[in-house]
Structure 1
Amino acid sequence: MSNLSSSSSSSSEEEEDGDSVSREELRDMMKLMKIECGEEDEVYSRPCCEKCKHVQQSHGKKIIPERLSRGRLQAQLEGEGTYECELTGLIFEASERVLVAYSLLSWSKFNTVVQNPWMIAGPIFNVHVVDRDASALKSVQLPHSLCLAGQEKEKLVLGVLHVTGQDPVIEDVLQSSGSHVKWTVSSRLSPVGAVARDAQRVAHHGAAMLYEDLDSGGLDAHVLRLYLASCNSSHVKDMKSQMKKGRFRAVDINTFCLLLEQNYSLMSEPSGELHSQHLPFTVQSLMFCGFFEAYYEQPPPFTLNLKVHRSDVTAWTATIHQGDLLGSTDKEPSALAQQLLLGSSNFTLQMP
């Protein structure tokens, strides 16, 4: 999009000819462009958990890495100190100036090596030092998704899966916090991710991620998909890979919830047409992420309630209003919007 001009007023003749676009239409066009371009919000955010937020702290100097091809990131650590990546939540402790390259991986390639009593507890990353020996990094802190409030540390063991060739090993951690595990860098760097032992009854910081299906609804219909994910960017990566066929838009609502490995049920008011009324949440089987789907033939508001299956315990609830859904305006962009999406610059932005 280039040469975007603006004016404080537009004539009625321009409006009739369709040569101007309002702020509201521009906002909706930007939403469509994000869908078409497949952009994803990769910024790491600490879970807003009321139970354990007192132990979640920021660490060191914040850095924004350079984006390379194929999802790879690269950051220059300027000298001895601690640095926190704002995109991934990784925390590096450096002993000298060093260039670090890293990328988010899918657990689907490695989850078979995490066997009971161990379980996945956070995202997995491939990390390596570009211009120095691995010893230039003293430690790496990896995000985890567990809610540790009230947990007895002697009963819950955290570790790091270190994938080294054909013999992946689970290594000890130096310490843990409400958001990270701290791992001492060994002689070599390779895929690493947080794991936990005997944590089946420990809740995960999770997200009820709601998407609007823009291809399946009609003019007066809305189709919503609800995925359950831990606050684990590898889990979310796997989930989004299943959504590449079709157009989906994230509904901007509060998503945070605490999730245990158990079955959940979805209820709706008005009832709508629900598919898969109950589903299990698990952090192990990540290759195929189940989802709830709700179909409505009436306009919002819709209230969704996620409950523990066969109980009255509510894990998450949200009300979706008219303005939350792109389909509440137009399923298809106007002719002017389509010109913008195709790169036309012959229009004027109508300002209030």
Structure 2
Amino acid sequence: MSRGAGVAESSDDHSASSEEKDCPSPNLETSKDSKSGEDSRSESSSESESDNETPKPEKTIEEWEGKELPTDHFNSEFNEIQSHCEHCNAENKHNELVTPRLLSRGQFLLKVDTEGTYQCMETGLIFEVNRKVDIKYCVLSWSKYADLVVKPWVVGGPLFDVKCDPTCLTSIHFPHSLCLGHCDANMMFKVLHVKSTGASLEYTVDRSATHVKWHVSSLSPVGPVIQSEETVFHHGAVILYKAIDHNPSLSFRVYIATNNESFIKDISKSVKHSSKKFMKIDKPPVCQKLLQNGKKYRLISEPEAEITPEEIEFVDGSLLKLKSYSEVYLEQPVEFKLLLVEMDSEEIVWKAKLRECDWVQHDQNPNISKSSTSGNRRRKMSSSLPDEVVYDKRMKQIDTSDGVKTKTLLTDTQLINLAEKLGKEWVKIAIANLKLKISDIDAILEKKEDVTINKFRMLKKWQEKEQSNATAQNLWNCLKNVSSVEVQDVLKGFLQET
């Protein structure tokens, strides 16, 4: 198998969280080790759309409803943000899908036993390995490395830090957030490789509708960048957060994002460190129409709400530390519809209906909890220990033998918080992990309630079955093998609260 010409760097050069280290100096070089046949282009892509000089008349919500989108997109649940695009379907069918283990500080650990091609179900990364290997990796923020992305190059997908024995890893396929159906022939991909000596642009060896393939030269922060002579089309997502306070009014943050895990992680971090407390609203996030830089979009609400700003010019903000958002404010807590509309075409890009059950009983779910703060303190005190040792030690401290901590029963608030994080596989979890009967699930589904309430009732059924054993420790024992990172985080929070 072909290898990069450079000597692989030691993974010790980077800490477990590369974001905690200083950014290498912006010494940008173009690697010529593995050219893929793509011709270099130096001109940046021009703005494809100009603003309309004559504003179009406002449409009522009834008129917008005439542009209905397929209902299955809005009734589905998503564990992760995925793209639904006619140009980007059914790629990489022959990869073995694997679920990594979640470590501390947002890192993943993937243990591979034999040669093959493996796709991570959490991040979309694809690894080609030539023998047994343990791979540790995490998503990084592009904003820290903004000075290294020099025009005409722009961000093309998430940034990752991957650590393992580089002789075992022949190539990595990075997920990208672009639709190539419109400008595939005139788009050039490379990967930005951030090393201790500086940064370089390295050639890719292949690309698909969803991924960019790169031969491993050494291991350190790396992610796809692009330049294009034509308009760039992004797969987009709309992410909602509600402010938690004691006022009867409703206040939401609405983020319009590229479907880029680095970008989405930045949004989550920004909300978590806000002076206000927020909860994430679980609605299908995927935009049903591609987003374009420079295009203008409008948020519309029924009943009418205060929306600031109402009109948004979309730009890929991956390199920006501060992410832009719109605030949606209603004086009274009522159900309402929210739509994102492209102003030029007047087409609906995304829509959702927000109901009272989406935000009730969540006042105890702040973006920064006492348990997570104390957990951070414990991690800092144990920073010299390996991640697995720290986590196992914490679990032993929680699982005491005197029966005091483990007999604390779970509350309805905790169960609704967990229900919010369970994905579309909740029925399988109910039967396989919680040992409920299919008749129990049928009885819940017959009520035709909101899906989060269905999942909450499923957990209540488990609680009724377990009675005095319906503890955080028992629920952890049942669900510790569930792959969802968000579910694992909630369960660990329950254990720390006991």
**TM-score band, normalised by shorter chain:** 0.7 to 0.9
| Letter matched to residue 191 of structure 2 | V
Determine which of 147, 150, 153 is the counterpart of 1:118.
153
Determine which of 233, 236, 247 is the counterpart of 1:218.
247
Residue number in structure 2 paired with 1:300: 334
Relative to structure 1, is the Cα distance of residues 147 and 271 closer, same or farther in structure 2, using a 3 angstrom cutoff? same
| 1:141 to 2:187 alignment | no
Relative to structure 1, is the Cα distance of residues 218 and 87 closer, same or farther in structure 2, using a 3 angstrom cutoff? same
Residue 310 of structure 1: CA displacement?
6.4
Q: Where does 1:224-235 land on structure 2 (aligned, <5 Å)? A: 224-235=252-263
Q: Is the 8 A contact 1:46 1:179 kept in 2?
A: no
Q: Is the 8 A contact 1:200 1:261 kept in 2?
A: no
Q: Where does 1:173-252 land on structure 2 (aligned, <5 Å)? A: 173-186=204-217, 188-198=218-228, 201-215=231-245, 218-219=247-248, 221-244=249-272, 245=274, 246-252=276-282
Distance (whole Å) between structure 2 residues aligned to residue 43 and residue 347 of structure 1: 24
Q: Where does 1:1-352 land on structure 2 (aligned, <5 Å)? A: 44-49=80-85, 51-129=86-164, 132=165, 134-153=166-185, 155-186=186-217, 188-198=218-228, 201-215=231-245, 218-219=247-248, 221-244=249-272, 245=274, 246-257=276-287, 258-262=290-294, 263-283=296-316, 284-309=318-343, 312-326=346-360, 344-345=408-409
1:237-265 C-alpha deviation (Å, 9 max, x unpaired): 11111111333222222211122112432
- 1:323 aligned counterpart, secondary structure: helix
Relative to structure 1, is the Cα distance of residues 207 and 181 closer, same or farther in structure 2, using a 3 angstrom cutoff? same
- RMSD, aligned α-carbons: 2.8
- 1:238 aligned counterpart, secondary structure: helix
Q: Is the 8 A contact 1:122 1:144 kept in 2?
A: yes
1:279-331 C-alpha deviation (Å, 9 max, x unpaired): 333224431111111111234331222233566343222222333332xx675
Residue 59 of structure 1: CA displacement?
4.5
Q: Which runs of 5+ in 1 are unaligned?
A: 1-41, 334-342
| Letter matched to residue 184 of structure 1 | H
Residue 171 of structure 1: CA displacement?
1.4
Distance (whole Å) between structure 2 residues aligned to residue 162 and residue 59 of structure 1: 27
Looking at secondary structure, tell me which structure has more strand per residue.
1
Distance (whole Å) between structure 2 residues aligned to residue 58 and residue 145 of structure 1: 19
Distance (whole Å) between structure 2 residues aligned to residue 63 and residue 316 of structure 1: 31
Relative to structure 1, is the Cα distance of residues 171 and 43 closer, same or farther in structure 2, using a 3 angstrom cutoff? farther
- 2:202 aligned counterpart, secondary structure: strand
State the TM-score, normalizing by the size of structure 1: 0.75
Residue number in structure 1 paired with 2:46: none
- 1:135 aligned counterpart, secondary structure: coil
Residue 43 of structure 1: CA displacement?
5.9
Distance (whole Å) between structure 1 residues aligned to residue 244 and residue 231 of structure 2: 37
Distance (whole Å) between structure 2 residues aligned to residue 116 and residue 147 of structure 1: 20
Moved over 4 A (4+): 42-45, 329-333, 346-352
Q: Is the 8 A contact 2:91 2:208 kept in 1?
A: yes
Residue 168 of structure 1: CA displacement?
1.1
State the TM-score, normalizing by the size of structure 2: 0.54
Looking at secondary structure, tell me which structure has more helix per residue.
2
Q: Give percent identity, aligned residues only.
A: 34
Distance (whole Å) between structure 2 residues aligned to residue 205 and residue 199 of structure 1: 19
Relative to structure 1, is the Cα distance of residues 266 and 45 closer, same or farther in structure 2, using a 3 angstrom cutoff? closer
Distance (whole Å) between structure 1 residues aligned to residue 133 and residue 242 of structure 2: 43
Query: Which is worse superposed, 94-103 or 53-62?
Result: 53-62
| Letter matched to residue 355 of structure 2 | H
Distance (whole Å) between structure 2 residues aligned to residue 330 and residue 43 of structure 1: 20
Distance (whole Å) between structure 2 residues aligned to residue 346 and residue 136 of structure 1: 45
